[in-house]
Amino acid sequence: MQIVHSAFLAASLVCVVAASTRAVDPPAAEKPDPRRPSAIATQDVPPVPPQIFSRLAQYRNIRGAGFAGWDPAGRGMLVRTNLGNTAQLFRVYEPGGRREQITFLEEPVRGRFLPTKKAERVVLSLSGGGSENDQFYLLDRSTFETKLLTDGKSRHTGGPFRRDGSQLVFGSNRRNGKDTDLFLLDLEKPSEPKLLLEVTEQFWSATDWSPDGKTLLLERYVSANESYGGLLDIESKKLTDLPLPGKAPLALGAMAFSRDGKSIYLTSDASGEFLQLARFDLATKQYEWITQDIPWDVASIEVDRETDRLAFTVNEDGAGRLYVLEKGKRREIKLPLGVVSGIEFSPDGKSLGLTLAQPQLPVDAYSVSLESGELTRWTFSEAGGLNPAKFVAPKRIRFPSFDGREIPAYVYPPPTASAKKKAPVLIQIHGGPESQYQPFLSGTTQYLVSELGIAVIHPNVRGSSGYGKTYLKLDNGMLREDSVKDIGALLDWISKQEDLDATKVAVSGGSYGGFMVLSSLTHYPDRIAAGIDIVGIANFLTFLESTAAYRRDLRRPEYGDERKPEMREFLQKISPATSSHKIKSALMVAHGKNDPRVPIGEAEQIAAKVRAAGKPVWTVFAANEGHGFAKRENSDYLQAVEVMFLMKHLLPNSP
């Protein structure tokens, strides 16, 4: 349930500035703010001083570009970037070449080339106002026409193309708004999609198409710890379970057919703590493990349709490593420290396209030669006019928690911090809860650290992915508050650092991270000065009862089934809304009114409860956003308010 942002544009967060102290001035919250977008409504938020907007603007103008696929005809690549109010698609024809914008839409858009050389066609995916009811469109670059492929109202999930680009499989909840059925769409002659699999009380998705076009490889997702595979015969619609590589329950990750369709490559935690790469022979029904010597998750896999080479990435303590498997031999392609995603073989099979996010450089699209290992940068995203050499790199640490377990975290220390000048601290908590913070360049983080002297810490509390299946399960069900105790342990660690000020600590987070913020405020009210809750959960019962129907059963394995009396009582007890009277810290709450994952009622109820108790609360609600602020003008305003908020409560003597 992570906040919706592309990997290269993920935000940091938080807010606000003090009102004028002159008695003749009206209360700050009553003053109009010309910089507030018309779609945003606020309460008790002072106008943002122009100085904050102007200085923050440079850091907010650190752009990024993500690799979105190769042109099948060999004419460069597709990238996704934000040069305006929303993220759009661009063509790049050569390394360092100009970006040719090909979509001009009001909403953020994703897309990928059809795997055909007949014409330049791109399938687009977007939704309105953050509703997540994604629709698919076909953009034909030869005729400059864009056609709607789906029903225009239901929620649709992506799936694989047939290898000749003639058909697309996708999921849709059009039947009842809850269950996601699988459909087949003919892209040569778009018409009413053909139903392939009707699903009840389960969630199936298609991951790959066999080379002969007769079989689909499916995954049934239950939770981050449990999933199953299946093979669907397209003509007969018969679904056959894929034999598991171990005893259920276990997790499956990435899956793909081999080039000849006689075997399947997949990742699973069946053989140990981590998602390991295996090859399943469809004839012998036997599994062959390939990466048992790598004690980290295999994050993604990609099969070359021409040579049967296999490329895969490994998530090593948050950093990405890239490997190629060819003729049974494995070799690593060395890359700079960073996060690697979106790998895809080029049409000639000589290189891999990818997105590389580094801690001190903008995220960009790259290619890497499979023969020489040479890394080539295709896009050169702007650093907002700032000197990248001065960006602060994070330090990896581990701190002990209440049960002796070591909790990993990344710390961005201000250059000015010392024993004589202790730095205030912002603890930034990721969502998910099965997500993981990985180090990449964030303009807001750099602003807080370099300009304001605030240390930023990103902990991967128990329940985070990337550290093994045991660690992933440590916050499930009745163990939910153990992850909150990890924040208490981090507060203890902060108090022992000579250059950090334990009396000036703020917490911020989005989605599940928002719950962690609110829960931390109720557990440690005297140790936290301020909290920022972005699209967070305030009450697990109202959340589970009001989240979109298609998500409810997916959340219950993680949080617990609220229909069971014992679990219902527990969820009510641990919900921050139940203990809101314990909150002493200043609170900021931001939410999109169209959020289908965590409905805005969660924000409204916690803000009302804390205000009623006489505590200061700032609210920022956007009418045209969903699970996160995706539109640039809204996001810019939110970030400025967050900076203002932190200055007020962590830097009270700042001008």
- How large is the average pLDDT for residues 408-434? 96
Distance CA 5, CA 91 (A): 21
Q: What single letter denotes the amino acid at residue 77?
A: M
Torsion angle in degrees (nearest 10) through CA of 444, 132, 182, 216: -10
**Domain range for residue 540?**
39-60+386-650
Least confident stretch, 266-280, 414-428, 559-573, 612-626: 559-573
Q: Is 29 exposed, middle or buried (0-12, 13-18, 19+ CB in 10 A)?
A: middle
Across the beta sheet with 167-172, the strand order is: 156-157, 167-172, 181-186, 194-197
- What's the one-letter identity of residue 549? A
Sheet holding 239-241, edge to edge: 204-209, 215-223, 226-233, 239-241
Q: How confident is the model at residue 655 (pLDDT cuts 50, 70, 90)?
A: low
Q: So what's the pLDDT on residue 302? A: 97
Question: Among candidates 387, 342, 345, which has minimal Cα distance to 362?
Answer: 387
Query: 299: number of CA atoms within 13 Å, CB side?
Result: 23
* Cα separation, 540 vs 538, whole angstroms: 7
Classify residue 71: in a domain, yes or no: no
How does residue 252 score in pLDDT terms, banded at 50, 70 and 90?
Answer: very high
**Can the peptide bond before residue 655 be classed as cis, meaning omega within 30 degrees of 0?**
no
Q: Are 168 and 161 in contact (CB under 8 A)?
A: yes
Q: Is 461 inside any structural domain?
A: yes
Q: How many structural domains are present in the chain?
A: 1
Question: Residue length, the chain?
Answer: 655
Residue 445 sits in a domain whose CATH number is 3.40.50.1820
Say if 291 falls within a structural domain.
Answer: no
Predicted structure pTM score: 0.91
Specify the pLDDT at position 505: 98
Q: What does the pLDDT average to over 168-176? A: 96
**Alpha-carbon distance 561 to 568, whole Å?**
7
DSSP secondary structure letter of residue 444: H
- Which residue type does 262 have? K
pLDDT above 90 covers what percent of the chain?
Answer: 85
Residue 579 lies in a domain: yes
Sign of CA dihedral 77, 80, 81, 84: positive
Q: Is residue 401 part of a domain?
A: yes
pLDDT mean over 468-487 = 95
User: What is the arithmetic mean of pLDDT over 283-303?
Assistant: 97
Q: How confident is the model at residue 647 (pLDDT cuts 50, 70, 90)?
A: very high
The whole-angstrom separation of Cα 254 and Cα 315 is 13
What is the Cα–Cα distance from 72 to 556, expressed in whole angstroms?
Answer: 41
Question: Going edge to edge, which strands form the sheet with 310-316?
Answer: 297-303, 310-316, 319-326, 329-333
Q: What's the pLDDT at 266?
A: 97
Q: Give mean pLDDT, residues 86-105.
A: 96
| Rounded CA separation 631/593 (Å) | 14
What value does the mean pLDDT take over residues 623-648?
A: 96
Mean of per-residue pLDDT scores for the chain: 92
Query: Domain for residue 175, yes or no?
Result: no
pLDDT digits (tens, 9 = 90+) for 330-370: 999 999 999 999 999 999 999 999 999 998 899 999 999 99
Vertex 451, ends 448 and 457: CA angle to 5°?
Answer: 25
Residue 543 lies in a domain: yes
Q: In what order do the strands lie in the sheet with 252-257?
A: 252-257, 263-268, 276-281, 287-289
Sort 404 into a burial class: Cβ within 10 Å, 0-12 / 13-18 / 19+.
exposed
